[in-house]
Amino acid sequence: MSLDRSDVERIAHLARLAMNENEAPEYTESLNSILTLIDQLQATSTDGVEPLAHPMDAVQRLRADEVSELNQRDALQACAPAVENGLFLVPKVIE
Amino acid sequence: MFNLTLSELSNALSRGEFSSLELTQAFLDRIKRLDTQYNSFITLSEEHALQQAKAADTLRATGQATALTGLPIAHKDLFCTQGIRTSCGSKMLDNFISPYNATLVERLNLAGMVTLGKTNMDEFAMGSSNESSYYGPVKNPWDLDRVPGGSSGGSAAAVAARLVPAATGSDTGGSIRQPAALCGITGLKPTYGRISRYGMVAYASSFDQAGPMTRTAEDAALLLQVMAGEDPLDSTCATQAVPNFSASLNDSLLGLRIGLPKEYFAEGTDPVILERVREAIAEFEKLGATVKEISLPKTQLSIPAYYILAPAEASSNLSRFDGVRYGHRCDSPKDLEDLYKRTRAEGFGAEVKRRIMVGTYALSEGFYDAYYRKAQQIRRMIQQDFIQALSEVDVIMAPVTPCSAFRLGEKNSDPVSMYMEDIFTLSLNLAGLPGMSIPCGFADNLPVGLQIIGNYFDEAKLLNVAHQYQQVTNWHQQSPANLSEG
Amino acid sequence: MEWEVVIGLEIHAQLATNTKIFSGASTAFGAEPNTQACAVDLALPGTLPVFNENALRMAVMFGLAVNSEIGKRSVFDRKNYFYPDLPKGYQTTQLAEPIVGPGYVDIETDDGDTRRVRIHHAHLEEDAGKSLHEDFHGMSGIDLNRAGTPLVEIVSEPDMRSSKEAAAYARKIHAIITTLGICDGNMAEGSMRCDCNVSIRPKGQATLGTRTELKNINSFRFIERAINTEVARQIDLIEDGGRVIQETRLYDPDKNETRSMRSKEEANDYRYFPCPDLLPVIIDDAYIDAIRAELPELPDARRARFIEQYGLSDYDAGVLSSDRAQADYFETVAELTKNAKLSANWITGELARLLNQADMTVKQSPVSADQLAGLINRIQDNTITGKIAKNVFELLWNEGGSADEIIAAKGLKQVNDTGAIEAAIDQVIAQCTTQVEQYIAAEPDKRGKMLGFFMGQVMKLTQGKANPGQVQGVLKQKLDQRC
């Protein structure tokens, strides 16, 4: 499986990464070399093997439904790039 | 005092040889004087450290000190520290000051430890050489032209250069063990889930595990004791009881069964490294251990499986860096898409972007089964190999890396050759097992690490084995010859 | 051509927990922006989710109420996409292993039949925040208070064949979740949201037509209107030789039209995978049985019981059982008055009328069940007439107190004194000579109807206080004597 430039551009778009003219060929090349590496998996038969999602053989813990987090808006917004009236500002959202 | 270990410094503090404030000031001065050549720190938290040191001295004066009270430590810059920048080695978080402490930082603070600063690292912990940091590469104290390993390269170099007696690290594919090996220090990656991940900026959630980086196994035991244990804030943190790690350090190794996986001693590894590892194993035989060859047949598959699963998780984990709530934001975005794309393109470095793209691709429609699901199946097979092997032996021993510290820039242009660095370490992260790296000699004047792998939640055994070796050898006491002061 | 409409619904119900599904921040509605968004909700670096036990319990309650198989193992997945109201860049949801498996509910159609609507599954997920579009110098403002509020998404099979059935299904789900107390069911505030998948096909065709998904429907009435509008659009489109495109369409209730949501048109690739920050949720039979044992009586069972126990009509029983508070209210009144039919009439009549006018629910009613029962009892013992009772009810609503206090204070007690009633009747007969003559002249079987006029006059004269039964008897007697 080998990616061409349009594949790489589609992936970059899905990942919301801008890519300029010079970068596209570089990323195409390095992604292809990584794909060659990971394609080694295909040679191994995994029929009937249960996928392992997590190394922890444990079950989800449950949290009591009690309010533990009080308003800390000022502290939490101290690093925000753009805030007004307690709202995070972003370019206009069009629905 | 710079050559003393944590436990030696602890004793000196309790004997009153110096105060924590004096100790802290001395280390801070030393960092300011020497770190220009290593670049192992991103942020020095001087004021904060001096306050903590004063508080520690007060605790000691009132008889409330623990073994760690007043001792300096540095945190890898992916552990959130309230009021101190947490950058993850990335431009993305260059301006990020966490409003909260990571659980392990909180625990070490409560034990009275003094945070000197935040150590350099590969950006978002993605790398094996520390060259992907936005803050520049770290230099290996044993040879300034060489890499310290990564991603916890700053922590490893700082401990090796005696800029701090201990540091925290994180290990997703070898990021504690490999730099520990390349810098000649002791590094422990505990069992997955042993230490809370809350407040550790995620790279790959089902792989990431924090651990101590120290000069000795004895010190690692002291730190692990405080770092380990259940955390209600982390669903994936283990509820297993935490034993007293120091108590079993001196247990006899008589009858210890060591397995040597033949795949880890095959061609492709520097023969000098294999020789050092074999010499170390001979020491263990002298201590009463028995050795047998074992097989971990899926070893070669650990790299492709890892480089599907870890980037897949990363691609999702790093989606939160979007320029909306914190972190870097591009100038005057013209619309939402522009905000996302330029913010992320500017904020992330090349290796991070590569892994995000690989992960995005592996999860995308039509490829999930061929890549992600297949890799999860291989992950199960690798885990089964280890479970089988560890039913026959107590610990597995192997090299940590196929070669010693390489030159800066040597593997930088070829990501795949960099990935091969982790061939001996990342299968443990796939399986979730604990592993340790301890110094076992030199190859061409560069440190060599011995890897000790144990069963789930059997860190006490690893620490015991490592400590016994450090009682009969002095590799861990060697320091780089170029250190200008002792 | 005759078209068949095919509808499936996706209903999102916000669970009435105290805290978020994965954090300890409050879920209370209406707080200042971002004051209920903690570090986890903001997706600060290093933060991790921990699952709310109450969200799990409520989802299981729902599953049991809709006859579903409960997932003893359920798994959270990540649905990846970028949007400013989605702080992590993924929504934590359940795809392959949801908490609630296949089930069904029965709805009553207009012709009195029941139709079974199958539920494909229901899963737990987190709500997103809100984008506010007031103009902030050309920017949008993001409020993440709602981010992380637990939702159960209930996905039906495409089993509905008309907009009425769709609304009836939505009402049934509403009745179930409010009866269970797991959701407040407030569609205007978005606690319950309904997306409708609508397609049409020639009657008799087995394969489904291309569907569109209608969003932004915030009342039962709009469910019907939005579907009718969309069905008409699809029929016009196809009959004009066009094709329906699979897309998301926004319903505009002001214009009563649906329009394409261009921002969602782009083909999405959500890259689902199991969330590595959460472990499988495992529950056992004991857990499920304990919840089953505590389930309240469900709307269908209560409706059947209302018909059986109280002799209510299908209609009254259906209305009263659709809301737990209303059903409880009814049962309290019926208990205190021993007259279920009259109680039902008052609740579905006067009470419902005033509640509607005031845009209130039964829970907010200023007239309690005790107060209403007190009023009904005075009707039953002939203390007041039904007409006066309506006035007393309005006074109860506006001024409070008890029916007895109001009756005494305002002198509304019914007149049962035969002498007084006869006097009033005599006066009316004396005054209305023309009508009396007409009465006498009429055919005997027409006279009954004409009695109403004299009744009205007598009631007017007695200010509505005369016992209507008595008036009728005496009036008829006196008039007939003249014939």
- List, for residues C403-437, the tens digit of each pLDDT value: 888 888 877 777 777 888 888 888 888 888 888 88
What was the pLDDT predicted at C428? 87
Residue type, B256: L
Q: Which of left, alpha, beta for B213 (phi over 0: left; psi -120 to 50: alpha)?
A: beta
A-chain residues near B416 (CB < 8 A): 33-34, 36-37
Tell me the shortest Cα–Cα distance from B461 to chain C, in angstroms. Answer: 28
The C-alpha atoms of residue C294 and residue C306 are separated, in whole angstroms, by 21
What was the pLDDT predicted at C447? 80
What was the pLDDT predicted at A89? 96
Long-range CB pairs of C447-452, under 8 A, 24+ apart, other chains included: C447/C479, C447/C480, C451/C475, C451/C476, C451/C479
The C-alpha atoms of residue C2 and residue A43 are separated, in whole angstroms, by 55
- Mean of pLDDT over chain C: 92
- Put simply, the answer to whether C51 touches B372 (Cβ < 8 Å) is no
Measured CA angle at C309 (ends C375, C327), to 5 deg: 55
What was the pLDDT predicted at C103? 98
Q: Is C21 within 8 Å of C124 (Cβ atoms)? A: yes
Q: Tally the domains of chain A.
A: 1
Average of per-residue pLDDT across A8-34: 94
What was the pLDDT predicted at C263? 52
The C-alpha atoms of residue C386 and residue B300 are separated, in whole angstroms, by 89
Catalytic-residue membership of B90:
no
The secondary element (H helix, E strand) that includes residue B278 is helix B271-286
Average of per-residue pLDDT across C8-16: 98
Catalytic-residue membership of B10:
no
Largest Cα–Cα distance in chain C?
97
Using one digit for the tens of pLDDT, what is the confidence trace for B150-176? 999 999 999 999 999 999 999 999 999
A90 belongs to a structural domain: no
Q: Which two tokens stand for residue C483?
A: 């014939």
DSSP string, B126-161: --SSSTT-TT-PPPBTTBTTB---SSSHHHHHHHHT
Using one digit for the tens of pLDDT, what is the confidence trace for B292-320? 999 999 999 999 999 999 999 999 999 99
B-chain residues near A88 (CB < 8 A): 324-325
B-chain residues near C276 (CB < 8 A): 204-206, 236, 313
Q: Which two tokens stand for residue C144?
A: 């993440």
Q: Is B155 within 8 Å of B74 (Cβ atoms)? A: yes
Q: Is A28 within 8 Å of A8 (Cβ atoms)? A: yes
Whose structure tokens read 């659709």?
C322
Using one digit for the tens of pLDDT, what is the confidence trace for C162-185? 999 999 999 999 999 999 999 999
State the pLDDT confidence band at C261, using cuts at 50, 70 and 90.
confident
Kindly tell me if the per-residue pLDDT of C74 is higher than 90: yes
What was the pLDDT predicted at C475? 85
DSSP state of B332: S
A37 belongs to a structural domain: yes
Quick one: closest CA in C to A63, which residue?
C52
Q: Is C32 within 8 Å of C225 (Cβ atoms)? A: no
Kindly tell me if the per-residue pLDDT of B486 is higher than 50: no
Q: Cα C350 to chain center, whole Å? A: 18
**Which has more confidence, C441 or C372?**
C372
DSSP state of B173: S
- Residue A14 sits in which domain range? 5-42
Using one digit for the tens of pLDDT, what is the confidence trace for A35-49? 999 999 999 999 999
Q: Which two tokens stand for residue B257?
A: 């069964």
- Put simply, the answer to whether B324 touches A46 (Cβ < 8 Å) is no
In sequence order, the 6+-apart residues with CB closer than 8 A to the CB of C59 are C15, C99, C100, C122, C124, C152
The C-alpha atoms of residue C152 and residue C192 are separated, in whole angstroms, by 10
Using one digit for the tens of pLDDT, what is the confidence trace for C323-381? 889 999 999 999 999 999 999 999 999 999 999 998 888 989 999 999 999 999 999 98
Chains that touch B (3 or more CB pairs under 8 A): A, C
What was the pLDDT predicted at C265? 47
Measured CA angle at B467 (ends B197, B241), to 5 deg: 40
Average of per-residue pLDDT across C242-259: 92
Question: Residue C382: what are its φ and ψ, rounded to 5°?
Answer: 65, 20
- Give the N- to C-terminal CA distance of chain C in Å, as an integer: 65
Kindly tell me if the per-residue pLDDT of C264 is higher than 60: no
Task: Say yes or no: ipTM exceeds 0.90.
Answer: yes
State the pLDDT confidence band at B484, using cuts at 50, 70 and 90.
low
Average of per-residue pLDDT across C200-220: 93
What was the pLDDT predicted at A95? 61
For residues B246, B240, B178, B400, the Cα torsion angle rounded to the nearest 10 degrees is 80
- Collapsing DSSP to helix, strand or coil, B188 comes out as strand
State the pLDDT confidence band at B94, using cuts at 50, 70 and 90.
very high
Catalytic-residue membership of B175:
yes
Average of per-residue pLDDT across B454-460: 98
Kindly tell me if the per-residue pLDDT of C111 is higher than 80: no
- Give the N- to C-terminal CA distance of chain A in Å, as an integer: 37
Buried b (16+ CB within 10 A) or exposed e, B333-347: beebeebbbbbbbeb
Q: Which of B7, B10, B45, B76 is the catalytic position?
A: B76
What was the pLDDT predicted at C266? 59
Which among A18, A40, A51 has CB closest to B376? A51
Strands C247-252, C212-217: parallel, antiparallel or unpaired by DSSP? parallel
- The three-state (H, E, C) secondary structure of chain C, written as one string: CCEEEEEEEEEEEECCCCECCCCCEECCCCCCCCCCCCCCCCCCCCCCCCEEHHHHHHHHHHHHHCCCCECCEECCEEEECCCCCCCCCEEEECCCCCCECCEEEEEECCCCCEEEEEEEEEEEEECCCEEEEEEECCEEEEECCCCCCEEEEEEECCCECCHHHHHHHHHHHHHHHHHHCCCCCCCCCCCEEEEEEEEEEECCCCCCCCCEEEEEECCHHHHHHHHHHHHHHHHHHHHCCCCCCCEEEEEECCCCEEEECHHHCCCCCCCCEECCCCCCEECCHHHHHHHHHCCCCCHHHHHHHHHHHHCCCHHHHHHHHCCHHHHHHHHHHHHHHCCHHHHHHHHHHHHHHHHHHHCCCHHHCCCCHHHHHHHHHHHHCCCCCHHHHHHHHHHHHHHCCCHHHHHHHHCCCCECCHHHHHHHHHHHHHHCHHHHHHHHHCCHHHHHHHHHHHHHHHHHHCCCCECHHHHHHHHHHHHHHHC
Q: Is C41 within 8 Å of C167 (Cβ atoms)? A: no
Measured CA angle at B244 (ends B239, B245), to 5 deg: 100
The dihedral built from the CA positions of residue C408, C412, C416 and C421, taken in this order, carries a sign that is: positive
Strands (E), B219-281: 257-261
- Put simply, the answer to whether C34 touches A69 (Cβ < 8 Å) is no
C-chain residues near A13 (CB < 8 A): none
A63 belongs to a structural domain: no
Q: Is B397 within 8 Å of A52 (Cβ atoms)? A: no
- Put simply, the answer to whether B375 touches A41 (Cβ < 8 Å) is yes
Tell me the shortest Cα–Cα distance from B308 to chain C, in angstroms. Answer: 13
Q: Is B441 within 8 Å of B279 (Cβ atoms)? A: yes
B positions 268-307 inside 8 Å of C (CB) = none
Q: Is B93 within 8 Å of B86 (Cβ atoms)? A: yes
- Give the N- to C-terminal CA distance of chain B in Å, as an integer: 8
Q: At what angle do helices C299-310 and C324-337 cross, to 10 degrees?
A: 20
Which among C24, C56, C280 has CB closest to A62? C56
Q: Which of B151, B170, B302, B427 is the catalytic position?
A: B151
Q: Cα B127 to chain center, whole Å? A: 12
Kindly tell me if the per-residue pLDDT of C452 is higher than 90: no
Closest CA to C214 of C248, C265, C165, C190: C248
Tell me the shortest Cα–Cα distance from A84 to chain C, in angstroms. Answer: 8
The secondary element (H helix, E strand) that includes residue B291 is strand B290-294
Residue type, C310: Y
B-chain residues near A91 (CB < 8 A): 333-336, 338-339
The CATH number assigned to the domain holding A22 equals 1.10.20
A59 belongs to a structural domain: no
- Report the topology of domain B6-253: Amidase signature (AS) enzymes (3.90.1300)
B41-44 sheet: strands from edge to edge? B41-44, B114-119, B72-76, B167-171, B209-214, B186-189, B435-443, B446-453, B395-399, B257-261, B290-294
DSSP string, A18-86: ---TTHHHHHHHHHHHHHHHHGGGGGS--TTPPP---S------EE-S---B---HHHHTTT-SSEETT
Q: Please tell me if residue C45 touches chain B, with a CB cutoff of 8 Å.
A: yes
A-chain residues near B358 (CB < 8 A): 31, 34-35, 38
Buried b (16+ CB within 10 A) or exposed e, C111-140: eeeebebebbbbbbbbbbbbbbeeebeebb
Q: Where do the domains of chain C lie, and which CATH numbers do they carry?
A: 3-287 (no CATH), 297-410 (no CATH), 418-482 (1.10.10.410)
Kindly tell me if the per-residue pLDDT of B485 is higher than 60: no
Q: Which of B128, B129, B175, B196 is the catalytic position?
A: B175
- Put simply, the answer to whether C269 touches B326 (Cβ < 8 Å) is no
A89 belongs to a structural domain: no
Closest CA to C21 of C125, C166, C171: C125
Quick one: closest CA in C to A89, which residue?
C141
Ordered by start, the domain boundaries in chain B are: 6-253
